[in-house]
Structure 1
Amino acid sequence: MAEINLESIMGLIMNAGEAKSNAMEAIAAAKSGEFALADRKLDAAHASLVEAHHAQTGLLTQEAQGEQLNITLLTVHSQDHLMTAITFVDLAKEIIDLYRCKS
């Protein structure tokens, strides 16, 4: 696997994991009534998702330019992390809104 591919794949995994962690912390903050902190954590989650998308775009650009990419279990794992993080952040927003309405 080329060095740049590994760097992009690890960027996907790390940033997606960071996004999911921040989303979880945002939910916990909202549950405690700390909505300003919840909003900051959601912002941080969104920023991590943007970075993960940059890593993904790098891989997609390589393939679109005709470079053959080796699809490994690590590649699939990175995409799984990204999709799970996106879903988690979206659900966290909804859960936080529910806590916000409840208070």
Structure 2
Amino acid sequence: MEGLELICFQIISFAGEAKSSYMGAIHTAKAGNYEEAEKMIKEGSNVFLQAHKAHADLIQKEAAGDMTETPNLLLIHAEDQLMAAETCKILAVELIDTYKRISILEAKEA
């Protein structure tokens, strides 16, 4: 495996790992461990950046006219996974904030 196929699988792998970290952060925050949840968001973001860099490199390669491979269904899937991971992060951050606010409100009522 080499070239475009390899890059696509790298994007898919990094995006999947990032998405797993974001989902784990949601579950961790729901259990009340916000510090660990924030750590998981950061870990996911670091992995996501690797996926994003691989994708950006492909875009630059194509813009420069250096891309010899034809974009294919695998690349579309990789881009879909990249976007899904990004959306998952946005939602995870919002949910963590919501869980924190709920905890504060519940503590005031107790």
**TM-score, normalised with respect to structure 1:** 0.93
Aligned to 1:102: 102
Number of residue pairs the alignment of both structures matches: 102
Partner of 2:5: 6
The answer to whether structure 1 residue 26 and structure 2 residue 14 are counterparts is no
SS in 2 for 1:14: helix
Asked if the contact 1:16–1:81 (Cα under 8 Å) also holds between the matched residues in 2, the reply is: yes
Which sits farther off after the overlay, 93-102 or 62-71? 62-71
Q: TM-score, normalised by structure 2?
A: 0.87
Partner residue in 2 for 1:79: 79
Asked if residue 42 in structure 1 is aligned to residue 41 in structure 2, the reply is yes
Q: How far is the alpha carbon of 1:102 from its aligned partner?
A: 1.0
| Cα deviation, residue 64, structure 1 | 1.0
Provide the C-alpha distance between the structure 2 equivalents of 1:94 and 1:74, rounded to a whole number of angstroms. 31
Distance 2:77 2:9 in 1: 10
Structure 2: tracts of 5 or more residues without a match: 104-110
Q: 1: CA distance between counterparts of 2:7 and 2:71? A: 13
Three-state SS of the structure 2 residue aligned to 1:91 is: helix
Q: Which runs of 5+ in 1 are unaligned?
A: none
Higher Cα radius of gyration: 2
Return the offset for 1:67.
2.4
Residue aligning to 1:64? 63
After the TM superposition, list the runs of 4 or more consecutive aligned residues in structure 1 that deviate by more than 6 angstroms: none
Aligned-pair Cα RMSD in Å:
1.3
- Displacement of 1:4: 2.7
Q: Secondary structure at the match of 2:70?
A: coil
Q: Distance in 1 between matches of 2:43 and 2:13?
A: 14
